[in-house]
A and B are shown apart, each in its own frame.
Chain A
Amino acid sequence: MGWPARIRRIGRIAEHAPPQPLPITAAPALLRGSLQIRYVDVGSCGACELEIASAFGPIYDLQRYGISLVASPRHADALLVTGVVTRNMEAPLRHTLAAVPEPRIVIAVGDCACTGGVFTGGYGVVGPVSSVIDVDLEIPGCPPRPEQIVAALRSIVGR
């Protein structure tokens, strides 16, 4: 079976776009319908990554709203940070933020990134992301559902 036949058999699997969420004020004025994201894992267990991957996957399809992941912070408008900030990742997180051109947004994904979660006070842990760099938007949950991630990012990009 060739790929055209397979496409015909499976049909459309992407969900229909939910109604557009309200735009938030943290969005920089220069964003015009697209958002390039550099993702940083500073100490995550991997659950948030699975949900982010799912949000960019075929069902939720974040790219149709003009949002994409990029390979270098130099190309990015926003940092997507997961996990509680461990000691080893504190300096790389600062370096990465410094490498993102302004204006920029920092988004913390998951309870660990927002509050430190169960790891608060651990000996290898610095704290939540907001204790190291300024955070513009928090997406809570352990892990947050893909719908939440999609809604939050759409509220930035305004589509």
Chain B
Amino acid sequence: MTMIRTALRPDTDAAGSEPQASHDARQGHEARSAAAAAWGGAATSLVGLAGVVCGIVALAGRSWSLSLDGLFPMVGVQLELTPLGGLFMLLTGAVAVIVGIYSAGYTRAGHLGGFPLAVMPIFVATMLLVPAAGSVPTFLLMWELMAVSSMMLVLAGHRRAEVRSAGVYYAVLTHLGFMAILLGLLLLSAATGTTRFAEISFAIGDVGHGARTVIFVLTLLGFGSKAGLLPLHAWLPRAHAESPSPASALMSAAMVTLGVYGIVRIDLDILGPGPRWWGLVMLAVGAVSALFGVLQASVATDLKRLLAFSTTENMGLVLVALGAAALLTSSGMRDVAALALAAGLLHLLVHGSFKMLAFLAAGSVQNATGLRDLDRLGGLARRMPVTTALFGVAALGAAGLPVGAGFVSEWLLLQSLIHRPAAGDTLMALTMPLAIGVVALSVGVGVVTMVKAFGVGFLARPRTDEAAHAREAGAPMLLAMALAALVCTVLALVPAALDPALRALGRTLPVPVATLGGVVIGPAGGLGSIAPAVLAAGMASAVILAVALSRIGSRRRPPAQSAAPLWACGADGLTSRMEYTASSFAQPMQRVFRGVLRPEADLSVVRAAGSAYDVEQMAYRERPTDAVEAHLYRPVLRLVRAVAGWVRRAHTGSVQLYLVYGGVGLLIVLVLAR
């Protein structure tokens, strides 16, 4: 693989001989990179703004299509606005606007080079064109451009070996996924005889069941890999963790959701809800991904890796909702199916908002401290109060607790799973309770995960000097994060704001979509309904009441006589070594789920010189491994390597032998073509 090298680098070696000139040069360089950052951020935001406008236009029901036959040889480029695509353009555009503002400030600290800044608007544009693609070749082209441009962003810090390894994982897995999508969509257009999505929808009725099934399996696998679903998920924690934070936010909040777009577009919209087992497969893939993602997140100590695994979890929950919607539609429960689909789409948008905020906050922590390891952070609440509060908003949303952004969609998902057909349907009677269990468990473990991320990373005392001397992020970064928090809050309190979009989708999708209408949200009949805004108002007034009452009550209490020192179990004072670390907080989870997480333990002992018994230093590390990687990827890789070794025996390096091969090959061709 060729590595990308940045051409412009400040000449720091001259600092000793000519301090004044070098100082001027550095100042000049900083001014230049600040200007580049402002331009790059502005370009990203503008492209995003265009996406927001297009998305709103598409959702308003204006159909619009554009065919540029000369732009690409043989097939041309066809663009088409649909309400479903509009929803994803709106999401991607909104994320890009906020990330653009953020990256204008982020670069000022020197973390993002000119190259990623230039790629970011292109990446956003390709992400906006994927849901706008009107034909199979255009879709595949944009999909591949999106993969390549995001790959460049992942490799922005390519000097470190971890980044290069993440890049290889991303390249391989995203192309495995692309191969599956390519095969699936080529089969689809071959079976229907056209490449335009609009015409495919009309001609799909003539396609046989076998071909449909193959297309479904291939596209689910391919789009699942982009959405971070099992089994092709391994790129996601690596790429999200190692890429620059604005890129992580774009990938996690926008690009990953386009995998879900593909599943909705091809498997629900074009192929139709299909036989029941399709829904069951989607439900199962979603459930396994949700559980696996949240368990890995609960034991992760790297903040960005934790957030990345949480993305897998949330995409799994979305797929559970899609699968439940398909299953319920086939059982004739259209009302409940509509609720499930609305819950899934709402969760997609909500996840985009809180995950973007979380990655941006993680980026500002990394900007201030250079650290991502929760075990070395801590105490940021005093040094970076705004970032801490904003990360708190994101963590509350990710935890799925009331007033948080994720609560309403997860609640609606649970409600749609509970309201299954009453009797006589063994499959549903078996599946739905299991799905409820999976959703409940992943939400519960999600709370533990977010408590860990917020409590260990931001509260208590700093564990390292870097964390102790952190400085609050600059104004553009804070502004971007505040905007993201605003979006989170609006979606959490007034999810009915999405009703026009959901209504537009309901008109076009074969699967019904519920609207969230009004203050009270829930299944028809009122049972299990919630009113998030009222809930929030109630909680806020309860807190205010409690504080006011305690203030009044404390008036009669005598003032404290002396300020006693904090109790440190008799020691001289509290130190950061007495705190819970992320590892120790997660240790019970690691122990309970040992069978799934399969932690890898190693003990290294440094012995004192010249002694077999004196130990100078001991280090014990236990880290969770990826069971899917160990038991699925490695056997496949071993097999490929074995076959390759077997093939290589024929390649001895002797030119004469190769000439013989060529002659024999020619002979065979001649004989066969006789």
Contact = CB atoms under 8 A, between A and B. Distances in A.
A91 B571 CA distance: 8
Contact of B567 (A72, A91, A93, A102): A72
B555 to A, nearest CB: 21
A98 interface: yes
Contacts of A92: 570-571
Nearest to A40: B570
A95 B572 contact: yes
Interface in A21-36: none
A74 B567 contact: yes
Contacts of A73: 567
B568 A95 contact: yes
Contacts of A130: none
B565 interface: yes
B564 interface: yes
Interface centre among A95, A96, A99, A101 (most CB of B within 10 A): A95
A98 B570 contact: no
Interface residues of A, number: 12
Contacts of B565: 95, 98-99
Interface string B553-573: 000000001001101101110
Contacts, number: 22
A91 B561 contact: no
A95 B574 CA distance: 12
A101 B568 CA distance: 15
Contact of A99 (B561, B564, B572): B564
B567 A99 contact: yes
A73 B569 CA distance: 9
Interface centre among B567, B568, B572 (most CB of A within 10 A): B567
**Is chain B's interface secondary structure helix, strand, loop, or mixed overall?**
loop
A145 to B, nearest CB: 29
A137 to B, nearest CB: 22
Interface residues of B, number: 8
B336 to A, nearest CB: 51
A79 to B, nearest CB: 12
Interface string A2-14: 0000000000000
Nearest to B572: A91
Interface string B562-594: 001101101110000000000000000000000
A101 B567 CA distance: 12
Interface string A124-138: 000000000000000
Interface in B517-575: 561, 564-565, 567-568, 570-572
Contacts of A99: 564-565, 567
B564 A98 contact: yes
A109 B565 CA distance: 26
Contacts of B561: 102
Interface string A84-115: 00000001110110110110000000000000
Interface string B31-42: 000000000000
B561 to A, nearest CB: 7
A19 B565 CA distance: 41
Contacts of B567: 72-74, 95, 99
A96 B570 contact: yes
Interface string B490-518: 00000000000000000000000000000
Interface in A51-66: none
Interface in B344-396: none
A96 B561 CA distance: 17
A17 B312 CA distance: 66
Contacts of A96: 570
Contacts of A72: 567
Interface centre among B565, B570, B571, B572 (most CB of A within 10 A): B570
A80 to B, nearest CB: 15
A102 B568 CA distance: 19
Nearest to B570: A92
A147 B204 CA distance: 93
Nearest to A89: B570
B559 to A, nearest CB: 14
B311 to A, nearest CB: 42
A93 B572 CA distance: 11
A40 to B, nearest CB: 8
11 contacts: A91-B570, A91-B572, A92-B571, A95-B565, A95-B567, A95-B568, A95-B570, A96-B570, A98-B564, A98-B565, A101-B564
Given A92-B571, A101-B564, 13 more contacts: A74-B567, A91-B572, A93-B570, A95-B565, A95-B567, A95-B568, A96-B570, A98-B564, A98-B565, A99-B564, A99-B565, A99-B567, A102-B561
- Cβ-closest 9 pairs across A and B: A92-B570, A99-B567, A95-B570, A98-B564, A96-B570, A74-B567, A98-B565, A99-B564, A91-B572
